[in-house]
Structure 1
Amino acid sequence: MEYFILKIARLLRESGINVNSDEISDCIRLLKMLDLDKMDKYTFYQLINTTLIKFPWGPDYALWLIELYFGPDLEMSSDHLGILKSQGCFSQEEGHGGSAGKTVPLELLIEAVLNNEIDLIYAVLQGLNLNLELSIEDREKGLAIFRTQSGWNEAANHIEKAYQQDELSEAEYQAARATLEEWNHLLKDETERQLARNMSMEHLVQEMKKRNPRTVSFLDCDDAQITQMSQEIQKIGRKLAVRKGRRRKVGPNGTINLNRSIKHSLKTCGIPLNLIKMQRKRSKPDLWLLCDMSNSVSKFIYFMLMFVFATQQRYANIRSFLFVDQLVEATDYFQEQDWTGSLSNLRKVSGYNRTGYSHYGNVLLQFLDLYLPFLPKKTTVLILGDGKNNRNRLDGSEVLAQIKEKAAALYWLNPLSKDQWDKGDCLMTKYREYCTGAFSVANIEELEQFLNSL
């Protein structure tokens, strides 16, 4: 069992979750205090959750990891209510061919869908013991197989046919569709579990990264992860807001500055000697944001704007510009005291999207004409976008050189990985030459790496 703990710790580390030696030692120490003969899945889940995964989103992540190895909820699949036994659901007469020689109780499943009994459907699925062959590696293909094996397709067709023949009311039909969707979600979860168990260690780590809010791609995250990722973004923003800059000033604390101390002591011939200490002071630069609002990067922009909002007290002045093919200033819409209000205001901005296709060349030239003359020297300019110019001849790269020359710094944050910067209509390799720095920021972990490099 200790080896299994070490294996899980290694998987967590490789998937982006920092697990130190003390936490591993605590986990093993607690494990030795438990009666292994009475160890069940939930005890092991609590052990992992309280010692190795210490994040607000840790419980869900730990549960997924444990179920990957030990299977899904046994309480629901054990038929503790005796429903399946009393219904005789696995009799050959009323079923259809299922997995591993078992039959699908189609009539029972259809009745469960109509009565919105997802617990019963779950119990039936566990009794069917659905399994994917090792050769199956594609999620959609695996899900299609499970839909067929479990009777989902036949149940869905039955519901559609009954609705078309006016055997179901609109309310009954919508309720049945909702239950079918829950059933489909159960099949998706089981597909992912079995694919992960059949995967190599490398593929398993990649799957774990997709479920880790800190390593999942901004562009690929699902709605359920947005809340978890938002909490992480705001936490990083609050830390950065109070982080001191690189410049130093004289203060009561800090490191001793020998040169200043000696110069000061010369005024009194070195008697007495007062030590001059220098401490880091909080910098308050200006920040100008240029945000690509194309649909392809909308989630990335959402998180980056949230991050900037959380750090706004760090900056003396923030100006925000939105664009797709036209540049529009949105600074006045970003003045609310809370993020929800600012986001609501930003959605009211219009005029930055005429064609639906991003045009960096046109946007940068507009910036050159309208705003570059008023760009203060201490301003940091931050461009947020994927650098895809949609094959427009005008790319605006010469404008980037002028922005870099006039501003304190010009950074470009791109949600695409660097191996995609030269593909298709992405011009990032060309754009990066004219920036102080261009970074791939595909997830929260890479955002932190960028911030630590400043």
Structure 2
Amino acid sequence: MDGWDFIRLVHALRAVSVSISSQDILDAQICLDQFPDLSEKQILKSLFIHRPQDLVMFETLWRILIENPKLNVQDYSEDQEENVVLEENQDSAGIGGQGVGRGSGGVSLTTKGNILNSSHLTNLIPFARIVELTCSGLELEEMVQKILAEIDYYTWINSNDLAYQRRELPEEAWYTHLDSRASLMQEVRQQVLMAQVSHENSWEPLARQHWLFKPLSTLTDEEKDLVKSSIRKWARKLAQRPGSRWKTSRRGSIDISRIIKQSVQCDGILFNLSYRQKIPRVPELVVLCDVSNSMAPFVEFLIYMVTCLRARFRKIRVFFFIDSVWDVSDFVWDDDPSGVKQEIKSWGHKASSGFTDYGNVFRELVEYNLRELSSRATVVILGDGKNNYRPAQSEYIAQISSKARNVFWLNPLDSQEWDEPDNMMKEYQKYCSKVYRCRSASDLQRIVKDVF
């Protein structure tokens, strides 16, 4: 590997949010020089990848920069003019078997019990077809699903599932099929990402697939665990913040007044410096969480965030709402959101129309809870601002804003969507200290650093 490829790889990894320190780079250069017989790829992977979740990013970048430095659509299409025939079980007839394709490399994956060799993966569909889908403006997952349909993937897995249920497929062949299924899905996704990077001439398509930047509603179970771990760390950080009072300390800010007093007592002689630190205070927090249908993709993470905050804050009140409010501060919270979801479902059936009414929610809070709101409290609203064409009643959020220390609104929608006719964010925004987009882990991280 020459120095230019090395630099490009490091730059690309950093561009897609893989953390690489200067020490990692130095260690990699030393190892590449001292161990020329070892695989360069394995050396760099072991030194640059610190989280299993980043392995896919590394593999994709390696293929783009090192294995396929010049993506040529014409080359791909010429190489794939002939249909690919997968290894088959000669004793069993396949189901379907027609393939879809587009007349240029369509294949069938439907033969019962066949073994998908990894060397065939790149030939399942012409790269030119993937580029064509990329230019159509579809999202990544939409393209993946379309490609899978075109190579008859779903018929293939259904035929194998049926064969296994009928005990026509040996156990060993079944597990081999499952591995092939996962490999195929990963390969298709990598091919699509490569096409997007080539089309946009940017690493942005890859960066969007990092767990920090993916929408919370599209995360895998493994990525959800990463986000939950991050939320726990942020909750610990939020639990205490410097107050307005000071205390004597061994280090911190120099305490000028104390130094002067000591020097006066000692005839103006200065013996040592005095320091002071702010006394940590436990902030008061009021959380309002929209649990309507439009917020359903984000509710699990909002609930988890509230759970972590409740575990850290001594003074916290939590309200759920749709078109009216209910206090869940005394609810028994744990890491499993199923109990909270059941509470939301049961309450919604008996006390809500299912359509959000922010105006009525703010009115109820002012009439029944405003007196209990401290002037030192911070109000955090988690919602999309969709009011279903009902009156905004912004005078009530104005009263809440005038009473509380701060009002922060976390909205999963992009700011362009706030202009929709049924969205009241533009009206409510003027009464908030700050409004943030909050639909990914990176958004949560930025909010914590900025606000708390």
TM-score range, shorter chain: 0.7 to 0.9
For the 8 Å contact 1:381–1:410, the answer to whether it is kept is yes
Matched position secondary structure for 2:23: helix
Shift of 1:8: 2.7
1:420 counterpart residue number: 417
For the 8 Å contact 1:288–1:381, the answer to whether it is kept is yes
1:132 to 115, 127, 132: 127
- Aligned residue pair count: 415
For the 8 Å contact 1:265–1:274, the answer to whether it is kept is no
Residue 5 (structure 1) aligned with residue 27 (structure 2): no
1:442 to 436, 439, 442: 439
- 1:97 and 1:343 mapped to 2: Cα distance? 41
Q: Which residue type is aligned with residue 430 of structure 2?
A: E
Shift of 1:313: 5.8
- Contiguous gaps of at least 5 residues in structure 2: 69-85
- 1:48 and 1:313 mapped to 2: Cα distance? 40
- 1:246 and 1:33 mapped to 2: Cα distance? 56
Shift of 1:287: 0.7
Matched position secondary structure for 1:426: coil
Superposition CA RMSD, Å: 4.1
- 2:396 and 2:99 mapped to 1: Cα distance? 67
Change (3 A) 1:250 1:373: same
| Percentage identity across paired residues of the two chains | 25
Change (3 A) 1:146 1:276: closer
Q: Which residues in structure 2 correspond to 1:135-146 (within 5 Å)?
A: 135-137=132-134, 138=138, 140=142, 143-145=145-147
Output the TM-score relative to the length of structure 1.
0.75
2:393 counterpart residue number: 396
**Over residues 109-147 of structure 1, what are the superposed CA-to-partner deviations in whole Å (9 max), with x where a residue is unaligned?**
4221xxxx6xx1345843855323132314545654554
Matched position secondary structure for 2:281: coil
Q: Which residue type is aligned with residue 36 of structure 2?
A: D
For the 8 Å contact 1:323–1:363, the answer to whether it is kept is yes
Q: Which residue type is aligned with residue 121 of structure 2?
A: Q
For the 8 Å contact 1:411–1:437, the answer to whether it is kept is yes
Change (3 A) 1:244 1:54: farther
Shift of 1:384: 0.8
Matched position secondary structure for 2:218: coil
1:291 to 289, 292, 310: 289
Q: Which residue type is aligned with residue 285 of structure 2?
A: L
Matched position secondary structure for 1:58: helix
- 1:145 and 1:53 mapped to 2: Cα distance? 30
Q: Which residue type is aligned with residue 339 of structure 2?
A: S
- 2:154 and 2:269 mapped to 1: Cα distance? 92
Deviates more, 1:259-268 or 1:400-409: 259-268
2:25 counterpart residue number: 24
- 1:127 and 1:428 mapped to 2: Cα distance? 47
1:303 counterpart residue number: 301
Matched position secondary structure for 2:410: strand
For the 8 Å contact 1:301–1:384, the answer to whether it is kept is no
1:329 counterpart residue number: 327
For the 8 Å contact 1:95–1:105, the answer to whether it is kept is yes
Matched position secondary structure for 1:450: helix
Deviates more, 1:419-428 or 1:199-208: 199-208
Change (3 A) 1:247 1:453: farther
Shift of 1:230: 1.6
Q: Which residue type is aligned with residue 405 of structure 2?
A: A
- Contiguous gaps of at least 5 residues in structure 1: 72-82
Change (3 A) 1:277 1:95: closer
For the 8 Å contact 2:240–2:282, the answer to whether it is kept is no
Q: Which residue type is aligned with residue 292 of structure 1?
A: D
**Over residues 11-30 of structure 1, what are the superposed CA-to-partner deviations in whole Å (9 max), with x where a residue is unaligned?**
23223334333333333332
1:62 to 41, 58, 63: 58
Q: Which residue type is aligned with residue 227 of structure 1?
A: D
Q: Which residue type is aligned with residue 436 of structure 1?
A: S
Residue 348 (structure 1) aligned with residue 343 (structure 2): yes
Deviates more, 1:151-160 or 1:129-138: 151-160
- 1:122 and 1:14 mapped to 2: Cα distance? 32
Q: Which residues in structure 2 correspond to 1:30-45 (within 5 Å)?
A: 30-35=31-36, 39=39, 44=41
- 2:395 and 2:214 mapped to 1: Cα distance? 34
Q: Which residue type is aligned with residue 130 of structure 1?
A: I
Shift of 1:104: 5.0
Shift of 1:310: 3.1
Shift of 1:270: 3.5
Q: Which residues in structure 2 correspond to 1:146-185 (within 5 Å)?
A: 147-148=149-150, 150-152=151-153, 155=156
1:262 to 260, 263, 279: 260
- 2:132 and 2:106 mapped to 1: Cα distance? 24
Shift of 1:397: 2.0
**Over residues 171-192 of structure 1, what are the superposed CA-to-partner deviations in whole Å (9 max), with x where a residue is unaligned?**
879x999999987765543332
For the 8 Å contact 2:386–2:423, the answer to whether it is kept is yes
Change (3 A) 1:416 1:304: same
Change (3 A) 1:95 1:125: farther
For the 8 Å contact 2:106–2:125, the answer to whether it is kept is no
